[in-house]
Amino acid sequence: MILDEELFKRKANLSSIDKMFRTLSQRVWPSRTVVVRQKHTLPDLPYDYNALEPVISAEIMQLHHQKHHQTYVNSLNQAEEKFMEAKEKNDLKTMIALTPQLRFNGGGHINHSILWQNYFPKGGEPEGDLLKAIDANFGSFDTMKNGLSSSAVSLQGSGWTWLGYNKSTNSLAIATCANQDPLEPTTGLVPLLGIDVWEHAYYLQYKSVRADYVKNIFKIINWKDVADRLATARQ
């Protein structure tokens, strides 16, 4: 009986302490909303690393995905965390200084997340509404492919060549972006198909012959994914 009374007193005391802290927190932060930032993660590939051979070797795919893309994800999370800390302190100088890191690593994450979906082991050719749009804007699929290839091969340094959609004119366009600059924030075009011409995307297999890499990349394009992106952008 004595033990039961003592246990009851302890529970009552803990309940009072809990109420006190809850009341205190309500007074100090009466309407504060705590936002937990969800970190970016490396997306899984929709195929095995060796699925795109012989166009892209398993070694390149594994390094490209596990090393390079993962680095963009890690660096983006770190930059965002520092940016949010600076924002809490109203430290505008630090926020501005972090902008290039956010653009580079955020762009790298966005671009590669699209790229993995743009690939498909069996490849094929565009059809349906996508093919109609290509014909209407470029005259033919071959003309579009040649323009995209020429843009990718001639791009100086590292970067991306894109087939994008212009919402204002309801048209397709070819554009290039330096480094990891993301297409839509940079040009306003919605990304449909990207060609990564950073050397890490092809050098182990194609050495310095970028033209061969670009030529072969069309053998593994997932045109259904490109078509789905166009349909979504048109909505």
Annotated binding site for Mn(2+): 64, 112, 196, 200
Q: What tokens does 30 get?
A: 């009466």
In 3D space, the residue among 150, 157, 159 whose CA is nearest the CA of residue 214 turns out to be: 150
In 3D space, the residue among 42, 197, 226 whose CA is nearest the CA of residue 118 turns out to be: 226
Q: Who contacts 189 (Cβ-Cβ below 8 Å, separation ≥6)? A: 162, 164, 165, 166, 173, 175, 183
N-terminal to C-terminal alpha carbon distance within the chain: 72
Please state the residue numbers annotated as binding site. Answer: 64, 112, 196, 200
Q: Who contacts 161 (Cβ-Cβ below 8 Å, separation ≥6)? A: 148, 151, 152, 155, 174, 175, 176, 194, 195, 197
What strands lie across the sheet with 171-178, from one edge to the other?
A: 171-178, 159-166, 190-196
